[in-house]
Chains A and B, each alone.
Chain A
């Protein structure tokens, strides 16, 4: 029986989106557990499900780990009162959380989570849409996320969110530049002369069967990482939110599920950002530099595909851990310092890096 490919795509999309949402909710748990680990606390360890929690040994163990905590965390958003303040611009106020979440979930379509090698030896990406513009699409869509924050700040018609919205828009626009420029060396390297040009994330990952790009373009990796922190609004760059100055910044007036969408959106951005970093700089699903799954003889068929997805998600989780580690260690920048860092340090540095790699790649292409 032949399944309609469009229906199949919908099924895949549903699977991927639910996986991402699941990852987000468990990222919240991870955030809570890691922060408590860093701060010498215990973290969530009480929530239990009626039947599962009753299983001897395993039930209490899972409860102790806080495995069930995301369920009440999520339900809380649903059941709390949804306050719609009288002074807001209702249309934009309601639209803002959606706008901040949708781009984050949309970018998922071009992120390959692994690869599948069929019997003929062809390597195929496990991706929703294997489009050639991959990276460009990703940047274009993810930068739309800032509208959610700006609209939220603006439509709240309240002072702290307003300031948060201004901060967010300035910061995100500034860091997008450096971020974009910092990945250009990779694109130059992948699109060697004479080859068909591509911006596909899958091809970029495949280009890292030898060196990982983090190893031979470390500066790009660092700049990209810093910009990623700024783009995802995480501490030390959480200007828009900075709860001790602007109370909660752009989402001060939000409650219940609308706040939940912002919350999930932030973590979805983090998940996608970690995925992209792993693809661009950490070799995608290659277990080690110079070692591919094929070389280990484990790349074939479905087990190989599962393994590649596992390795990729492992790298993503490591990145997520790094995000959280930084958040609970460093103080927050000041708004003007963030702007200064973006414009006077990261942007010139990324341009210098671009010029340097232009010459290196030119040299490698012509004389070797």
Chain B
């Protein structure tokens, strides 16, 4: 039987509306949201077309934070570029440092010692917790719960103190070198990380008590900004945003690097792909990160923290430079000409807090890359914005932006 859809029209509604439209010319309200707006973290700009409060068109404008990182990379040695990776996703510099170093090591076909791998796992996971905490805090603040922001920032300060102890800097850590890390962990640092993990989990429960079963939070995030599985894949989403839509992909498990295969952890998945799922996935990921950190510290291997045999890649230690001729020459060469790299092309991506951070490096040999392309996950994650924001209200945009958890430093590069 053919089904007929009947449309209900209020009596004469069409006529009146047409008459009204003739009388007052109605047009959509165009609002430029950003680049300096409280909920477009950093410098994202959205050109919105509003019908009342409902978004009819959302046009993201990117590039306000473009610094030409990829071009800069062509003009300096591999090690010199490490501080620039701090400024990609500046909320998780440790993870960026590690991802970059691993990409270059893949080019050099260099295996770093186990201790170095384990240190990188610990720092990357701590960076993940730190990035998710900020994402969560900013997200809840956009939705109006201001206290969670303060709670998560207090925890981040504790993490920064740990980072400072390890790397000498709180924010821009530059901890990696090609072939290792800059220095070994200080005495007792792992114990302090364990103490942090101990204190952190109850706090996460507190945050959950404030949000997870909160009716207002649920209303504001559930069924808002739904990204279907197909969309998530076709727009190239990665990280928690992809997993929030229920696509089971985590590079730490599916393409293990840096010894992730030895650790036991779960990959949380969402079901609907709405803002609430992305929130829930991040909450669970933080717990899993704590689990990984604990395992990595429990079986922290001994040995060197850098590839000792790669004498033309990792600059020798200071005490040796000052006493031995050969090391002095090595240091001179690495500093002036850069590490000795073979020619070739390589692509490596690591599971960063925001998604898969990829480095595509073309080398013609020598210490400077010929071309480097950086795949910033935030860029791809934001591409879906045009689609998810449609039909939502202005308030939903802040919830969606918060849930996508992007960093413009990485997006514009």
Please give the residue numbers on chain A whose beta carbons come within 8 Å of chain B beta carbons, in ascending order: 35, 38-41, 159-160, 163, 167, 235-236, 238, 242-247, 328-337
Contact = CB atoms under 8 A, between A and B. Distances in A.
Given A245-B39, A332-B216, 15 more contacts: A35-B147, A38-B147, A39-B151, A40-B150, A41-B150, A159-B29, A167-B53, A244-B141, A244-B142, A244-B398, A245-B142, A247-B37, A328-B146, A332-B145, A333-B220
B27 interface: no
Contacts of A245: 39, 142, 394-395, 397-398
B38 A244 contact: yes
Contacts of B219: 333-334, 337
Contacts of B144: 235-236, 238, 242, 244, 330-332
B393 interface: yes
- Top 7 closest A-B pairs, CB basis? A332-B144, A39-B150, A331-B145, A331-B144, A334-B395, A331-B143, A244-B39
B154 interface: yes
B31 interface: yes
Contacts of B395: 242, 245, 332, 334-335
B147 A331 contact: no
A159 B211 CA distance: 31
Interface in B382-396: 393-396
B216 A331 contact: yes
A331 B214 contact: yes
B142 A335 contact: no
| A40, A331, A332, A336 pick with most chain B CB within 10 angstroms | A331
B214 A330 contact: yes
Q: Classify the secondary structure of B's interface with A.
A: helix
Contacts of B210: 329
B38 A328 contact: no
A193 to B, nearest CB: 41
B122 to A, nearest CB: 27
A331 B140 contact: yes
A238 B216 CA distance: 13
Given A159-B29, A245-B39, A333-B216, A328 B147 contact: yes
B217 interface: yes
Interface in B94-144: 140-144
Contact of B145 (A41, A167, A330, A336): A330
Contacts of A163: 53, 394
A330 B151 contact: no
Given A244-B39, A334-B219, A337-B219, A159 B31 contact: yes
Contacts of A159: 29, 31
26 contacts: A35-B147, A39-B150, A39-B151, A40-B151, A160-B31, A163-B53, A235-B144, A236-B144, A242-B395, A244-B144, A244-B398, A245-B394, A245-B395, A245-B397, A246-B394, A330-B145, A330-B216, A331-B144, A331-B217, A332-B144, A332-B216, A332-B220, A333-B220, A334-B219, A334-B393, A336-B53
A250 B216 CA distance: 23
A282 to B, nearest CB: 26
B150 A247 contact: no
Contacts of A246: 394
B136 to A, nearest CB: 13
A334 B395 CA distance: 6
Nearest to B146: A328
Given A236-B216, A243-B38, A329 B142 contact: no
A332 B143 contact: yes
A334 to B, nearest CB: 4
Given A242-B395, A245-B395, A331 B38 contact: no
B35 to A, nearest CB: 13
A163 B150 CA distance: 29
Interface string B133-177: 000000011111111001100100000000000000000000000
Interface string B200-218: 0000000000110010110
Contacts of A39: 146-147, 150-151
A333 B214 CA distance: 12
Contacts of A243: 38
B283 to A, nearest CB: 15
Contacts of B146: 35, 39, 328
A38 B145 CA distance: 12
Contacts of A244: 38-39, 141-144, 398
Contacts of B142: 244-245
A163 B30 CA distance: 12
A167 B394 CA distance: 12
A245 B33 CA distance: 9
| A40, A242, A332 pick with most chain B CB within 10 angstroms | A332
Contacts of A247: 37-38
A236 B220 CA distance: 12
Nearest to B218: A331
A285 B142 CA distance: 40
Nearest to B211: A331
